[in-house]
Structure 1
């Protein structure tokens, strides 16, 4: 029978990392280039010397997408303990009867409280949220909710399983 002291010694709070691209200008450049690429959809070579202009645009898209990947910043969140969670919820009560907390104020506070790397204060989160669009803000909020609200289970990795299965002929 397992000893609770041994179990507690192994226990670690759940962590979850998301990557956010902070280069909105590069995203706009990719959009612009993709529109330019679409304009070449009907291009036809007129002579053997003609180069398809779509190739140069596709190469620019690839370079811009790589620059976007390089502009991604990882944000790692760690689950709060029971008391820290309870205290945080108590600091953000709902004005609506039947609701335990106020989503609008709790969400950014949860991001700050759960942020492990980089560590963020509520003021840091407010400043960051001013630079991000709604989708990016929601991605950080979802990560904080996920790390605090979802059970930890061994995930099924379809891609990894397919690669391993191909090495063993499915056995």
Structure 2
């Protein structure tokens, strides 16, 4: 839980009820407003996916053999393969970058588009009003809050040489969604189930 979310929960609990929110003026709510944020997980070790699939196949076969032959009931092979899979999954998680992305203020988003004017001979550019090839990487960089330690060279290498098309589009779509899509209030079914009073028997 983030510090802000924890503070909100503590404040609500201190008020004595989870459904009582202290009313604030419109000006106060505007002053407290924050831009939308989302996270995108990008695994940088996609090469390990094939190894994971092979181990998973071997595990299913080993488990089936052990279930069919009581002499193999110790499960030694299955356990060994399961441990390898767990280790591989841990390695893939360790090599996963979590991109925290935040919308730009409206004027900055518009200014960023104007900084990349459309090419005269490009139909898509003319329709959108900006140079798509240059604007999209710039928008991804401008919207990324974390990781914060990427310099221009690292960004260029990441976007041009490391990411797959799918991963690049994930970041691209998130940048667009943050800036041009509606912000909806989420509803957690799990949280509601946990916090909802028990139904009388």
Q: How many Å apart are 1:58 and its aligned residue?
A: 2.3
The separation in 2 between residues aligned to 1:78 and 1:64, in whole angstroms, is 31
* 3-state SS of paired residue (2:71): coil
In 1, the alpha carbon distance for the partners of 2:166 and 2:199 equals 39
Where does residue 65 of structure 1 map in the other structure? 89
Matching of residue 138 in structure 1 with residue 169 in structure 2: yes
Query: Which residue does the alignment assign to 2:44?
Result: 22
Instruction: Extract unaligned runs of 5+ from structure 1.
Output: none
Residue 110 (structure 2) aligns with: 86
- Residues 71 and 98 (structure 1), Cα distance of their counterparts in 2 relative to 1, 3 Å cut: closer
Rate the CA distance shift 1:133–1:2 in 2: closer, same or farther, 3 A: same
Mapped contact 1:108–1:122 kept (Cα < 8 A) = no
Give the Cα–Cα distance (whole angstroms) in 2 for the partners of residues 122 and 86 of structure 1.
Answer: 22
Q: CA deviation at 1:156?
A: 1.4
What is the distance in 2 between the residues matched to 1:144 and 1:61? Answer: 34
Equivalent residue number for residue 195 of structure 2: 164
**2:130 aligned residue (101, 112, 115):** 101
Q: TM-score, normalised by structure 1?
A: 0.77
Is 1:126 equivalent to 2:148 in the alignment? no
Range 106-115 or range 46-55, more displaced: 46-55
Give 1:48's aligned residue. 71
Question: Contact between 1:113 and 1:121, CA under 8 Å: does it hold in 2?
Answer: no
Mapped to 2, the partners of 1:50 and 1:7 lie a distance apart of 63
* 1:91-145 superposed Cα distances (whole Å, 9 cap, x missing partner): 3344214333343332211101111122355543321121122222222222222
Distance 1:86 1:28, change over 3 A: same
Q: CA RMSD in A?
A: 2.8
- Structure 2 unaligned blocks of 5 or more: 1-23
SS of 2:185's equivalent in the other structure is coil
How many residue pairs were aligned? 168
Tell me, what secondary structure is at the counterpart of 1:155? coil
- The question of whether the paired residues in 2 share the 8 Å contact of 1:20 and 1:75 is answered with yes
State the TM-score, normalized to the length of structure 2.
Answer: 0.68
- Relative contact order (alpha carbons < 8 A, sep ≥ 6): 1 or 2 greater? 1
Shift of residue 38, structure 1, vs aligned partner: 4.1
